[in-house]
């Protein structure tokens, strides 16, 4: 099957996966890698990426195998728990973000989740009066 998603092998997370750039690894599994964001926006700020070449959330959702998806979601869930931010654990909750494309503010074109917590994060979007 041809893909409409074009993946740039030189993106920074591809280079991290190839070991060309160091990272502060939190967890590694068969299909996923989690590491600390280099510019944390809160006390806990971990990025979770699949090892496969997926550009963004849509690409991953459409074309990743069930095994990759299960591995990725379970890894992300484990990280929030182990980072101490779980609601009902010692923490008080967190936010999961998957920026996608230009309007989503995605800077690195390798699919990633941000897991952010450790302090009150405020409303979801600037100007959100909800």
Report in angstroms how near the CB of residue 45 gets to ligand 5GP at its nearest. 7
At closest approach, how far in Å is the CB of 1 from ligand 5GP?
26
Is 112 one of the catalytic residues?
Answer: yes
| Piece of the chain touching ligand 5GP by CB under 6 A; list 1-9, 32-40, 60-68, 84-92 | 32-40
Q: Do the bridges between strand 32-36 and strand 25-28 make them parallel or antiparallel, or are there none, so unpaired?
A: antiparallel
Measure the CA–CA gap between 23 and 38, rounded to whole angstroms: 8
Chain centroid offset of residue 44 CA: 13
Residues 6+ apart with CB under 8 A from 59: 3, 5, 111
Beta strands 44-50 and 32-36, pairing class: antiparallel
From 37-45, 54-62, 72-80, 84-92, span contacting ligand 5GP (CB under 6 A): 37-45
Largest CA distance in the chain: 46
Member of 27, 69, 108, 118 binding ligand 5GP (CB under 6 A): 108
Contact call for residue 19 and ligand 5GP (CB under 6 A): no
Q: Which residues bind ligand 5GP (CB under 6 A)?
A: 12, 21, 23, 35-39, 47, 99, 105-108
């Amino acid at each position: 099957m041809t893909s409409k998603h074009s993946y740039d092998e030189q993106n920074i997370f591809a280079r991290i996966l190839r070991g060309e750039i160091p990272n502060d690894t939190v967890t590694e599994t068969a299909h996923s890698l989690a590491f600390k964001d280099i510019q944390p926006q809160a006390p806990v700020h971990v990025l979770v990426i699949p090892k496969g070449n997926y550009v963004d959330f849509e690409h991953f959702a459409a074309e990743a195998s069930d095994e990759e998806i299960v591995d990725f979601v379970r890894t992300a869930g484990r990280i929030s728990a182990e980072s101490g931010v779980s609601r009902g654990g010692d923490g008080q909750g967190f936010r999961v973000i998957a920026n996608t494309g230009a309007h989503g503010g995605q800077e690195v074109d390798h699919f990633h989740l941000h897991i952010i917590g450790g302090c009150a994060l405020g409303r979801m979007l600037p100007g959100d009066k909800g």
